[in-house]
């Protein structure tokens, strides 16, 4: 039995110049995925499933040479003879090329980030094993897994040879995550061996070798690498600004982003005070405060949040509550409010635990299906409650976590990650008649995160918390993270501060101005240090899409329909908001044309 190799679907071209571009685009996509076989598996392009990324000195040189040659080729293409949809595809490819060159030349994650190898190991195994239980392709995928496992000792040897002096915070985090990867081989994979009985003996033998290599690597992480992990987690102004440009694909200037973020933070805090004061008068009738301005907000809002945050799940019920309470409630409201058409109930949407190699990086994730396999499951991942190994300390951290993600916070989280946030948005993108394979592979996180934040705002503006000011207040608290994320990202990576000063400033901003629990704030601080520029995507995407809503309202006047706007915005795929704006305001694309499949 063989697994059918994927074909790259060619968009309908408009003229010979566009045809030539898409021929080169196909070559680029195939070759770039050949250089990154784990990414190929992630996208459902199974041509290179048995291979693993090569980070030998020759492999690194070959990678950079490929991208430099590709940049010369695609920069020379005459975009004036192409449709807007094809130009967007060209820009997405060029951004991928330039971001890859920038990473290889300047950021050098293969030398500075042990998480680079952690993700190769995690995604490289997980996405070979996400098939439905009865899928006939299991023997082929497990044969690919067997081949890929044989490459794990070599990859880990390359990691040990390449890694120099990464930031301590990165090494510590990956040393905490690597045992979950070992666990995947030790506990999860053996349950799959019966799906390819003829390979069982080889899979078991190779799995033992992989576990041994990973255990030895764990000693390296905790010992030799941690001892020399003296690198700076800050990118500095120049590197951060260039990386931000590749991440966002936005025309907004970093200074404007931070200014607008502070303005948003202040206005939302004032709105929270207006919601909190009646609640405060009812809950704390004996409390009076002489403070004014920010200090009054800090005291009154904090007291109210402290009380209503007591309404939360237990560690044992949190996952069940998300799945059985909050997902159905948000889905029912969207249908009543008519915000947009939801995916059918038959769609393969699941709520699952976050895979171990990502657990703890964020509280929740949405994992879309592979771009080449949109029929596979769509996963709303919930991370475990963080633990340190100290029972007394862990009890406090668990309570802090649950107070942050109380009954109301879990609803905002579900709206953002799933309905009508990431899950619904990616469902539209994967089923878009306009979005080419390039718009799916090179998906823009600024749009994805911006839509999820906008979706939260639309839900509450449409009455989701009517009669429930506690829910609205916690929504506002959760959404303070959007501007705070952008402020953290910019200042931590560009302004000179000692580690102690940076930590003190960041935690004060999140806990005092953002009302975050200690567990949330400390986790976000670590995330800000190790995922530079990602935290800016939420606010920038939200700003650009909010501006687009206003422009569309002005254009449509009394005929404006929120449902029509939402479905039109989502119909183009996960592309940069600035390109959505061009398509919305300057073009009237016909489904299936201008770069569609």
Q: Over 90: is that where the pLDDT of 397 sits?
A: no
Euclidean distance between CA atoms 23 and 138, whole angstroms: 32
Q: Is residue 401 in some structural domain?
A: no
Residue with tokens 């200042």: 491
* Structural contact between residues 447 and 454, judged by C-beta atoms closer than 8 angstroms: no
| CB atoms inside a 10 Å sphere around CB 433 | 12
- pTM (predicted TM-score): 0.94
Please, where are the H alpha helices in 138-235?
138-150, 152-162, 168-183, 200-220, 226-227
Euclidean distance between CA atoms 249 and 266, whole angstroms: 27
Number of domains in the chain: 1
Q: Over 80: is that where the pLDDT of 394 sits?
A: no
Residue with tokens 């934040």: 453
Encoding tokens for residue 279? 């609640």
Element (H, E) at 336: helix 327-337
Q: Is residue 394 in some structural domain?
A: no
Q: Check residue 593 and give its pLDDT.
A: 43
Which of 142-146, 329-333, 591-595 shows the lowest per-residue confidence on average (mean pLDDT)? 591-595
Q: Is residue 245 in some structural domain?
A: no
pLDDT in tens, 175-225: 999 999 999 999 999 999 999 999 999 999 999 999 999 999 999 999 999
Euclidean distance between CA atoms 244 and 585, whole angstroms: 26
Q: Is residue 66 in some structural domain?
A: yes
Please, where are the H alpha helices in 385-465?
391-404, 407-417, 422-430, 437-441, 445-461
Q: Is residue 381 in some structural domain?
A: no
What is the mean predicted confidence (pLDDT) over 10-33? 96
Average pLDDT, the chain: 94
Q: Is the peptide bond before 35 cis (omega within 30 degrees of 0)?
A: no
Q: Is residue 75 in some structural domain?
A: yes
Element (H, E) at 522: helix 518-530
Q: Is residue 161 in some structural domain?
A: yes
Q: Check residue 588 and give its pLDDT.
A: 46
Boundaries of domain holding 182: 16-234
Euclidean distance between CA atoms 70 and 47, whole angstroms: 21
Percentage of the chain lying above the pLDDT 70 cut: 96
Q: Is residue 298 in some structural domain?
A: no
pLDDT in tens, 353-378: 888 877 766 688 899 999 999 999 99
Q: Over 80: is that where the pLDDT of 4 sits?
A: no
């Amino acid at each position: 039995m063989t697994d059918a190799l994927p074909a790259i679907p060619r968009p309908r071209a408009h003229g010979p110049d566009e045809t030539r571009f898409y021929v080169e685009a196909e070559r680029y996509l195939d070759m770039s995925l050949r250089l990154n076989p784990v990414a190929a598996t992630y996208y459902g392009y199974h041509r290179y499933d048995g291979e693993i990324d090569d980070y030998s000195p020759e492999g690194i040189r070959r990678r950079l040479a490929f991208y430099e040659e590709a940049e010369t080729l695609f920069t020379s293409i005459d975009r004036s003879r192409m449709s807007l949809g094809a130009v967007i595809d060209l820009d997405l490819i060029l951004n991928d090329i330039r971001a890859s060159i920038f990473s290889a030349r300047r950021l050098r994650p293969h030398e500075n980030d042990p998480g680079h190898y952690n993700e190769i190991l995690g995604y490289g195994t997980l996405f070979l094993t996400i098939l439905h239980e009865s899928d006939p392709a299991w023997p082929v995928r497990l044969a690919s897994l067997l081949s890929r496992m044989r490459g794990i000792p070599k990859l880990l040897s390359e990691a040990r040879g390449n890694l120099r002096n990464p930031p301590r915070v990165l090494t510590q985090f990956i040393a905490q995550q690597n045992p979950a990867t070992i666990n995947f081989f030790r506990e999860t994979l053996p349950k799959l061996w019966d799906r390819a009985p003829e390979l069982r003996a080889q899979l078991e033998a190779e799995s033992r070798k992989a576990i041994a290599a990973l255990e030895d690597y764990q000693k390296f992480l905790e010992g030799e690498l941690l001892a020399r992990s003296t690198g700076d987690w800050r990118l500095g102004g120049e590197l951060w600004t260039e990386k931000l440009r590749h991440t966002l694909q936005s025309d907004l200037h970093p200074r404007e982003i931070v200014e607008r973020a502070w303005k948003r933070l202040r206005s939302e805090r004032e709105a929270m005070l207006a919601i909190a004061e009646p609640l405060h008068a009812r809950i704390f009738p004996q409390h009076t405060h002489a403070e004014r301005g920010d200090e009054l907000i800090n005291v009154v809002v904090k007291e109210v949040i402290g009380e209503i945050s007591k309404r939360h799940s237990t560690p044992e019920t949190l996952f069940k509550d998300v799945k059985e309470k909050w997902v159905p409630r948000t889905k029912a409201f969207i249908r009543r409010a008519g915000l947009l058409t939801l995916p059918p109930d038959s769609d393969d949407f699941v709520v699952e635990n976050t895979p171990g190699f990502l657990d703890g990086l964020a509280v929740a994730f949405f994992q879309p299906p592979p771009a080449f396999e949109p029929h596979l499951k769509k996963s709303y991942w919930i991370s475990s409650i963080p633990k340190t190994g100290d029972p007394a300390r862990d009890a406090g951290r668990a309570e802090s976590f649950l107070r942050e993600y109380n009954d109301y916070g879990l609803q905002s989280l579900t709206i953002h990650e799933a309905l009508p946030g990431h899950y619904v948005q990616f469902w539209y993108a994967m089923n878009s008649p306009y979005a080419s394979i390039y718009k799916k592979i090179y998906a823009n996180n600024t749009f994805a995160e911006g839509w999820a934040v906008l979706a939260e705002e639309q839900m509450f503006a449409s009455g989701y918390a009517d009669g429930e000011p506690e829910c609205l207040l916690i929504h506002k608290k959760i959404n303070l993270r959007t501007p705070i994320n952008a402020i953290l990202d910019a200042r931590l990576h560009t302004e000179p501060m000692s580690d102690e000063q940076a930590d003190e400033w960041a935690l004060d901003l999140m806990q005092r101005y953002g009302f975050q629990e200690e567990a949330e704030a400390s986790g976000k601080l670590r995330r800000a240090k190790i995922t530079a520029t990602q935290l800016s995507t939420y606010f920038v995407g939200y700003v650009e899409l909010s501006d687009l809503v206003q422009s569309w309202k002005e254009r449509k006047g009394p005929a404006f329909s929120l449902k029509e706007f939402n479905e039109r915005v989502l119909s183009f795929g996960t592309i940069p908001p600035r390109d959505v704006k061009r398509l919305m305001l300057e073009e009237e694309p016909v489904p299936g044309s201008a770069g569609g499949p």
